[in-house]
Amino acid sequence: MTTTLACGRHALDLSRPRVMGILNVTPDSFSDGGRFFDRERALDQARRMLADGADLIDVGGESTRPGAAAVDEADELARVIPVIDELAREGALVSVDTMKPAVMRAAVAAGAAMINDVNALRLPGALEAAASTDAAVCLMHMRGEPRTMQDAPAYGDVATEVRDFLVERAQACEALGIARDRIVLDPGFGFGKTLAHNLALLRALPELAATGYPVLAGLSRKSSLGAITGRPPGERLAGSLAAALAAVARGALIVRVHDVRETVDAIKVWTAIGRDR
Ligand code: 7PJ
């Protein structure tokens, strides 16, 4: 089966796994260089990830890490729109990581070709905002909200609950006119999940892929890898590569990562070995 994801003016060929580079456009707490400095730093990092083989760049201006506070809409727009505009002008396939309908619309108007929503378009107006564009949408499962989601999350059968939720959200998208070939599903590793939940979701990834929607997996540097290895975020590269390959081997077609160069190499080797699958 060959899958092509319709992303606005781009068509992303998913006949092999693709790498999404993570670009956080948040104020640098170690500098007082202001917005221009933050923007140039972000653009440099995005260009480096593209040169390293990233297929798309996920631009985010709101931290959704466990415990993070919400960001004001005007601040989020001011952070992400200039960066999206410039990267799209340079020809990159740009994704916007946001929950807010107004940011989705402005980002697509500035050239974003994918809307990546950790909230699966559940905020009022988000479904309609996405449907008003021709961008792809990544629907991610999250239990609760970032501020409190790691407070004792509990499930019956986590893989089934996550899959059923995502298929229901995909159907809600299709009902509003978002074509099936624009939809990506993501189990949302670390978003209201314990280590055991994350491992169960990874093992069950083939069942999510069997829905027929392309699957995106984001495990890069996440705390589950820290729990397994005892390493802080900056030392989780090896764990992140193992997790990315495990996800790809179980059917993920896009991996969302910080370390693009290393992940691209790992997937190239994995793909070469598996050519005759
Ligand atoms: C994810 C995301 C993820 C998608 C973040 C982090 C936390 N979007 N945004 N999937 N994670 N689709 O990168 O550690 O797993 S922010």
DSSP per residue over 83-141, as a string? HHHHHHHTT--EEEE---HHHHHHHHHTT--EEEETTTT-STTHHHHHHTS--EEEEE-
Percent of the chain exceeding pLDDT 90 equals 85
By annotation, the residues acting in catalysis are: 222, 256
Measured from the Cα of 218, ligand 1's closest atom is: 15
Ligand 1, atom 6, lies closest to the CA of 65
What percentage of the chain has pLDDT greater than the value 70? 95
Give the residue, by CA position, lying nearest to ligand 1 atom 3: 218
pLDDT of residue 91: 98
| Stretch 122-134: mean pLDDT | 98
Residue 38 has pLDDT above 90, yes or no: no
Is the beta carbon of 218 within 6 A of some atom in ligand 1? yes
Contact 116 CB / ligand 1 (< 6 Å): yes
Q: Can you tell me which atom of ligand 1 is nearest the CA of 188?
A: 15
Which one-letter amino acid corresponds to residue 200? A
Quote the ligand 1 centre to 134 CA distance (angstroms).
22
* Average pLDDT, integer, range 186-211: 98
Q: What is the pLDDT of residues 50-81, one digit of tens each?
A: 999 999 999 999 877 777 778 899 999 999 99
Dist CA 230 CA 236 (whole Å): 9
Give the distance (Å) from ligand 1 centre to CA of residue 276. Answer: 32
Tokens of 238: 């090896």
Q: Which of 138, 140, 141, 201 to mutate to test the pocket of ligand 1 (most atoms within 8 A of CB)?
A: 140
Rounded to an integer, the average pLDDT of 196-220 is: 98
Statement: residue 87 has pLDDT above 80: yes
CB contact set of 27 (below 8 Å; sequence gap of 6+): 38
| pLDDT for the residue numbered 68 | 75
User: What predicted TM-score, i.e. pTM, was given to this entire model?
Assistant: 0.96
Q: What value does the mean pLDDT of the chain take?
A: 94
Query: Given ligand 1 and candidates 116, 236, 263, which is best to mutate, with the most ligand atoms within 8 Å of its CB?
Result: 116
| Closest atom, ligand 1, to C-alpha of 118 | 8
Say if residue 134's pLDDT is above 90. yes
What is the 154 CA–ligand 1 centroid distance (Å)?
20
Q: Is the CB of 189 under 6 A from ligand 1?
A: yes
Ligand 1 pocket, residue 146 CB under 6 Å: no
106 lines ligand 1 (CB under 6 A): no
Residue 2 has pLDDT above 70, yes or no: no
Verify whether ligand 1 is closer than 6 Å to residue 138 (CB atom): yes
| 115 to 29, 133, 135: CA distances (angstroms) | 27, 10, 7
* Ligand 1 pocket mutation, candidates 5, 166, 169, 191, criterion most atoms within 8 A of CB: 191
- Note the pLDDT tens digit of each residue in 147-186: 888 888 899 999 999 999 999 999 999 999 999 999 999 9
Confidence (pLDDT) at 210: 98
Three-state SS at 205: helix
- What are the Cα distances from residue 178, in Å, to 12, 113, 122, 188? 17, 14, 15, 21
**What pLDDT is attached to residue 274?**
87
